[in-house]
Amino acid sequence: MAPQLKKPVDSNHASYGTRMRMVKTSVVLLLASLLFVPAVYAQSINAYVSVDSVRVGDRFMLTLVAAHSVEQEPLFPGPQDGEEIFGDLTVLELAGSGTAERIDNNVSVQVDSLVYEVTTFALDTAYVPSMPVYFAANGDTTFFASRPIELPVISMVTADAANIRDITPILEFPRNIWPWIIGLLLAAVLIGGLVFYLSRRGPLQEEVVIRAPVPQLPAYEEALKKLRGLEKNANLNDVVKIKPYYVELTDILRYYLSRRLNINAMESTSKELMDDVNQLAHQSNLPNEAAYLLRRILHVSDLVKFADMHPRPEVGTQALVETRKVLDVVESSFKPQSDPAPAVETVYEENVEPAHNE
């Protein structure tokens, strides 16, 4: 969906309609020129600014162009909610976007662009950092970044400003000490009154209240209770509630693993958590099935949290089922070992697409 454009109020610049026509024309010309530039890599990210130099507070355009295969879907950086900062640039609004296709060496290449209307308040040089663009395809997410840009900032002081006088220093007056004297007298009266009151009342007896400690549920029972609450209140058909659902699901699983396996699962990244679980699987009775299911759950959750993916409702339901399975498998490793049962080979579908962008 194209971004909702808001008309800026600025009497010192061109009208909103004129600027939007300039942006659309720039996007079309830029994409048309890129169609005839040979592609060097499978993905390429380039950033362009619409001016060679800028004054403090001036508005100008920052264009981000991503060339990639048609199977990939790019995810450009913000702004998502309100104002966003790109280095020394402040993003005011999304000004436009464009998409085109070209053929390089019999390979179809798609070129997407996004135009930001920005301003800067840097005094010397406005620094535009590397702008990351994420690419999602077949359940995998990668990202590439553009080269940084340094934009000169022109001074707003005119040549005839040499005769301007500096601000006159503030005139100092002698301080009045009477407020201090009155304040000290009032403080002495209050302290004397408090001492007299305490001396007449006698020694204070501190009341000690002993509270019984609240028993904590075992890690397994606590996790199952939270999963039942999450399943009861889940609404995976609502796009707004998908991300909070996956955040809470992984938090329940991470907190259980922290208590049961004595690892720092809450503060670890997905890769660090998988390394700890794989190490435990090799050194203890923890089955490899727990590590496999955990990797699937974290993979889908990371796509939702960091790549703004919207999985189908059945994918979220399956993730909750697999979370319960992880709890059962980990709990089974703490039970006394009995006679080994006949081995049953479990077959998992590796090519299940966990998520799609709606």
Angle (CA) 128-130-132 rounded to 5° is: 130
Q: What pLDDT shows up at residue 25? A: 54
Helix, strand, coil % in the chain, rounded to nearest 5: 40, 20, 40
CB 292 within 8 A of CB 240: no
Q: What pLDDT shows up at residue 338? A: 54
Domain boundary assignment for the chain:
16-154, 219-332
The whole-angstrom separation of Cα 6 and Cα 20 is 11
Q: Does domain 16-154 have CATH number 1.10.8?
A: no
Q: What pLDDT shows up at residue 358? A: 44
Q: What pLDDT shows up at residue 20? A: 56
pLDDT-above-70 percentage for the chain: 74
| pTM of structure | 0.39
Length of the chain: 358
Digitized pLDDT (tens) for each residue of the chain, 358 residues in all: 333 333 333 434 445 455 555 555 555 445 545 444 444 445 788 999 999 999 998 999 999 998 888 888 888 887 654 557 888 888 888 888 888 877 766 778 888 988 999 999 888 899 998 888 888 878 788 878 889 999 999 877 666 666 667 777 877 777 788 888 898 999 999 998 888 888 777 655 555 566 656 668 898 899 899 999 988 888 888 889 889 999 999 999 999 999 888 888 889 898 888 888 888 888 877 888 888 888 889 898 998 888 888 889 998 899 899 999 998 988 888 776 554 444 444 444 444 444 444 4
